[in-house]
Amino acid sequence: MVITISFPRHGEMLPCVDIFVCTADPRSEPPSLVISTILSLMAYDYPAKKLSVYLSDDGCSIFTFYAMWETTSFAKHWIPFCKRYNIEPRSPAAYFSESDGPQEPCTPKDWSFIKDMYDEMTERIDSAIMSGKIPEEIKANHKGFCEWNLKINSKDHQSIVEILVDGKDQNAVDNEGNVLPTLVYMAREKRPQHNHNFKAGAMNALIRVSSVTSNSPIIMNVDCDMYSNNKDTIRDSLCFFLDEEMGHKIGFVQYPQNYNNITKNNIYGNSLQAVKKVEMGGLDSVGGPPYIGTGCFHRREILCGMIFTKDYKVDWDRGVKERIQENIVYNIEEKAKSLTTCTYEHGTQWGNEIGVKYGCPVEDVITGLAIHCRGWESVYYNPIRPAFLGVAPATLSQTLLQTKRWSEGNFTIFLSKYCPFLFGHGKIKLRHQMGYCIYALWAPNSLATLYYVTIPSLNLIKISSLFPEITSPWIAPFVFVFCVTNLYNLHEALSCGDTLKGWWNVQRMWMVKRITSYLFGVIDTLRKLLGLSHMTFAVSSKVSDEDVSKRYEQEIMELGSSTPEYVIIATIALLNLVCLVGGIFQIMTCSWNVFLNVFSPQLILCGVLVIINIPFYEAMFFRKDKGRMPFPVTLASTGFLVLAFLIEIIIPII
């Protein structure tokens, strides 16, 4: 897309922007992590009076609220510090972890002052969390603390909406007298008898709360661990919305999900470089990428169900006008609370035709699909300096939990009324439908993968050939597909910045995810369709203890827990090792040439699987650290291996 926008010409006509941040669990997502993200968003290089930041706290934690209250004081020093010295990144946690001291033009005095202030703030927050209570003298400083009592818990509490910084208040300025962005804390009402619809419900509550506070025409949302890494991201995004030729077609601008803690060789395959740099960008040619739930800018109207029309126009100044109409903070808070009750959405189209859609673990994808089906296009933007950086899972179990949620959610879409081929028929291009289905069919790929990592190896022991002989011309398609796909995959990975070892690690994780996360994704999806279980949402932990973090930095796989996924991994690894040894024994006892001619494809496949599983053999038999494979897992996998061979022996007899 050719950009024809000039920001100086637009000047004060720049639209207001509402920024949504969601957090759900103060243990998995510590308040100190959340406020660093909040501060990075408040410090954008954008007119502060046009910026409003909202935090949805689904954990309803008084400690998260306390951290937000501390943020209001620190922001008065942090924001002017960032703008005075053009600091990047503007997350204090990231900035201070990347530099041991001040860099030009920042003075040592200013750097030390801000660093000490930040350390003291985080120490106060961490001390309050460790002690389990907020000091009474602090509670007396803000009326919001009165909302919490002994009966409140994360699943049963009233609506809480507190405007911590009112951007319309003349006294809401930083230590240099400049206006501060509006900052709002929200914990929507939750009751055990009412379904709260997880993150989608939080997003819809934020849409309503912001409509009576700032009502900006542009909404941006990020996860609480995805801090802003580029001060110009808002301006960059608006280039698409304000483009004079194509801007009126753009419904949302999607940024990739990047991480700041990926190891050199991508031990858990979390960088997804090919997806970010090839697949998502390629979708721009057919209508745009899907909405992935974070790092995205939307028009407010499209989140409220607007259908695209060629004569569509927007009043970019609307947010400013409507903000001036109401200037009593208490009245705004009370009105906002009434919009976040458990029963507010009953009998309405919220979660269906209005807002983020309900009923799916990946609510973002079906919301984006619905937007595309209403005629809007989206844009994928992957700048050289990443717009957002987050925390990737640092253990194998966290990685598998995350990919299970993604694969299960996308497969649920494929089997629902929102299947791209059905819901998108006649509304979006066939190629766009197929682009969505790449991810929707992740989960069922597990069945084919499970077959190829078990049956060929087992038949090697049984001296039963599954492939054409190596001298047969019919082997050519198998060799062609195997060689070309892997060579292309290698080229793609290296061209996207992965190392050779990183590519190999991705191949290992490709197999591991499919025989565990994707397999359980299929099972859980079918159970839900049969009414045997209900939708849940597990929050991936953003914290790891010191030993786990050290092993992650050393690229040593973390396997120190007993889970069904690890039993499957260990069983497959042992099965292929035993079958490879058995196959080599068959070569030594039978005709060498005949065996290699008939069984070499299976032998090669089994050998590749053994090599790719080497880290799991080390974890089972050689490692002594706490991250090794637990003995009960090794024992269980051995039992399943014996059972598999017994079945192989019994079936031919029957």
pLDDT tens, residue by residue, 59-107? 999 999 999 999 999 999 999 999 999 999 999 999 998 877 788 888 8
Q: How many helices (H) and strands (E) does the chain have?
A: 27, 11
Pick from 25, 51, 27, 54: nearest CA to 38: 54
Q: Does residue 394 come out as left (phi exceeding 0), alpha (psi in the -120 to 50 range) or beta?
A: alpha
Name the H helices within 415-466. Answer: 420-423, 430-440, 445-452, 455-461
Cis, bond preceding 105 (omega within 30 deg of 0): yes
pLDDT higher at 535 or 198: 198
**What phi and psi values does residue 298 have, to the nearest 5 degrees?**
-115, 150
pLDDT for residue 596 is more than 70? no
The answer to whether 208 and 345 are in contact (CB under 8 A) is no
Q: What burial letters (b/e) apply to 601-631, b meaning 16+ CB within 10 Å?
A: bbbebbbbbbebbebbbebbeebeeebbbbe
Q: How confident is the model at residue 396 (pLDDT cuts 50, 70, 90)?
A: very high
- pLDDT value of residue 6: 44
Q: How buried is 507 (Cβ within 10 angstroms: 0-12 exposed, 13-18 middle, 19+ buried)?
A: middle
What is the overall mean pLDDT for the chain?
89
- pLDDT value of residue 453: 94
Other C-beta atoms closer than 10 Å to the C-beta of 43 total 25
In this predicted model, what pLDDT tens digit does every residue of 526-582 receive, in sequence order? 988 888 776 665 665 556 678 888 999 999 999 988 899 999 999 999 999 999 998
pLDDT-wise least confident of 395-399, 511-515, 563-567, 648-652: 648-652
**What phi and psi values does residue 165 have, to the nearest 5 degrees?**
-130, 120
DSSP 457-492: HHHHHTT---S--TTSGGGHHHHHHHHHHHHHHHHH
User: Chain-centre distance of CA 584, in angstroms?
Assistant: 44
Distance CA 503, CA 236 (A): 32
- pLDDT value of residue 242: 92
Element housing 20 (H / E): strand 17-23
CA distances from residue 531 to 29, 460, 528 in whole angstroms, order as listed: 31, 40, 5
The answer to whether 292 and 249 are in contact (CB under 8 A) is no
pLDDT for residue 7 is more than 70? no
In this predicted model, what pLDDT tens digit does every residue of 409-421 receive, in sequence order? 999 999 999 999 9
In this predicted model, what pLDDT tens digit does every residue of 457-504 receive, in sequence order? 888 887 777 888 888 888 899 889 989 999 999 999 999 889 999 999
Please identify which of the residues 243, 364, 498, 524 carries the catalytic annotation: 364
- pLDDT value of residue 274: 87
pLDDT for residue 654 is more than 60? no
pLDDT for residue 508 is more than 90? yes
Please identify which of the residues 58, 223, 243, 498 carries the catalytic annotation: 58
**What phi and psi values does residue 162 have, to the nearest 5 degrees?**
-130, 125
Q: How confident is the model at residue 12 (pLDDT cuts 50, 70, 90)?
A: low
In this predicted model, what pLDDT tens digit does every residue of 336-362 receive, in sequence order? 999 999 999 999 999 999 999 998 888
Supply angle C-alpha 263, 266, 270, rounded to 5. 110
Beta bridge partners of 185: 55, 162
The question of whether 364 is a catalytic residue gets the answer yes
| Six-digit token string for 160 | 């809480």
- pLDDT value of residue 168: 82
- pLDDT value of residue 464: 75
- pLDDT value of residue 112: 93
Q: How buried is 182 (Cβ within 10 angstroms: 0-12 exposed, 13-18 middle, 19+ buried)?
A: buried
The question of whether 236 is a catalytic residue gets the answer no
Q: How confident is the model at residue 325 (pLDDT cuts 50, 70, 90)?
A: very low
What share of the chain has pLDDT > 70, as a percent?
92
In this predicted model, what pLDDT tens digit does every residue of 180-193 receive, in sequence order? 999 999 999 999 99
pLDDT for residue 436 is more than 70? yes
Q: Report, as an integer, the average pLDDT of 368-385.
A: 95
The answer to whether 516 and 569 are in contact (CB under 8 A) is yes
- pLDDT value of residue 103: 81
pLDDT-wise least confident of 6-20, 593-607, 614-628: 6-20
In this predicted model, what pLDDT tens digit does every residue of 274-287 receive, in sequence order? 888 888 989 998 99
